[in-house]
Amino acid sequence: MESAPDGIVIVSTQGEIVLVNQQTEQLLGYRREEILGKQIEILLPHRFRQRHLEHRTRYFAAPTTRPMGAGYELWAQRKDGSEFPVEISLSPLQTEEGLLVTSVIRDITERHEAAEALRKAHEELEARVQERTAELEKANVEKQQVQEELLKAEKLAEIGQLAAGVAHEIRNPLAGIRGAIEVLRENKIDREAQRPIMSEIMERVDRLNVAVQDLLEYAKPMFPHPTRHQLNDLVDSTLSTLVHDPRLSKVEVVRHYRHLVEVETDFSILERVFTNIILNAVQAMNYAGTLEIVLEERGTEGVVSFRDSGPGIQAEVLPRIFSPFFTTRTAGSGLGLALSRQYIEVLGGRIRVTTQLGVGTTFIVALPKTRNS
């Protein structure tokens, strides 16, 4: 992780810099008086400024708390013209002077260099595997050793991805908290105007608690206690706990129980999976639409399908939806579906998803039937 402190820049709706902290001066080489009142684009390389102006206009039209430029490489420019890679988090703040946006700038040069080193190491590893393959045709023992090395490399990559996700989920709320406190410390707003800022701080603390709780749940070993249940009873029980949830008030739930299927499973674990899938579907439909639940028997499995009438999932997003800490929403830890898949696999089942843009998405959970059912 980078040891350099985060820079904080607060910007008005006109794009003017109204406040910077001391770390920003150190990070970018400017004295505070040199950039206050200037357009935020002064801190970007010239080739990005026009595009950033367009992005800024769209952001202020619908401001939300989120990481900036997710999926893209972002760069900042120091006073001396040198550039460096950054990670930026945006948080809107309502004040008496109007809407302000806190931008938290983090120098990720070390991470960028580490990623490049990892890429080169991966290429070298692949080249080594290719060289070994020809040799291992005559030496099965050596082949096994290489496979073990690859398994370790994949495990390390997974740990690295998990660590990056943890850092993102924890540091983003902390950055917002820090930015809000900076505003309070300046004493530019009265006590009554401080209330929404303090509420935002509490919301971010709650988000940290959720992220940590989900991470602990994901990391701890699971020991299910299976007993026999009818799948339709499990679905009905899940829906009964959600019947008074206001998020489902405009959602029509349609049930089709084509077969009665008995499974041997852990009731509480499966109910959590069904709850997560249903709430994800409701959010995908923006809390209004139709959720169709189909229960049927397919060979040796009982299958429950949850089909929503939402917008569907983009093709580039679909392969990643079960990855830890991957989410397309600003709220949530991104561990819900990863946990659901882990739970289903522990129960001896399978989970998969199908989608069609403009039509909806279907999550399909398959569990082995009891042997005599």
> pLDDT by residue for the chain (373 residues), tens digit each?
445 578 899 999 888 998 999 988 989 999 999 999 999 999 999 999 998 888 888 888 888 877 766 557 889 999 999 999 998 888 898 888 788 998 899 888 888 888 888 888 888 888 888 888 767 777 776 666 666 666 555 554 555 555 555 555 666 666 667 666 666 666 656 666 666 767 777 676 666 666 666 666 666 666 788 999 999 999 999 999 998 899 999 999 999 999 999 999 999 999 999 999 999 999 999 999 999 999 999 999 999 999 999 999 998 888 888 877 666 665 555 677 888 898 899 899 999 999 999 999 999 999 999 977 5
Distances 223 to 46, 268, 309, 340 between C-alpha atoms, Å = 56, 12, 35, 15
Amino acid 171: pLDDT? 62
Beta strand residue intervals within 258-300, DSSP E: 262-265, 289-298
Residue 95: per-residue pLDDT: 85
Task: Give me the pLDDT at residue 224, please.
Answer: 82
pLDDT value for 156: 46
Question: For position 239, what pLDDT does the model report?
Answer: 95
- For 157-239, strand residue ranges (E) read 227-230
What is the predicted pLDDT for the residue at 211?
Answer: 65
pLDDT for the residue numbered 46: 92
Please tell me the predicted confidence (pLDDT) of residue 216.
Answer: 62
Please tell me the predicted confidence (pLDDT) of residue 167.
54
- For the record, the structure tokens of 301 come out as 């499995």
Count of alpha carbons within 13 angstroms of residue 122, beta-carbon side? 11
* Whole-angstrom distance, CA of residue 353 vs CA of residue 185: 48
Q: What is the pLDDT of residue 321?
A: 86
The whole-number pLDDT of residue 207 equals 66
pLDDT for residue 354:
95
Could you tell me which residues come within 8 angstroms of residue 6 by beta carbon, excluding any fewer than 6 positions away? Answer: 23, 104, 105, 106, 175, 178
Q: How far apart are CA 9 and CA 177, in angstroms?
A: 14
Residue 2: the pLDDT is 45
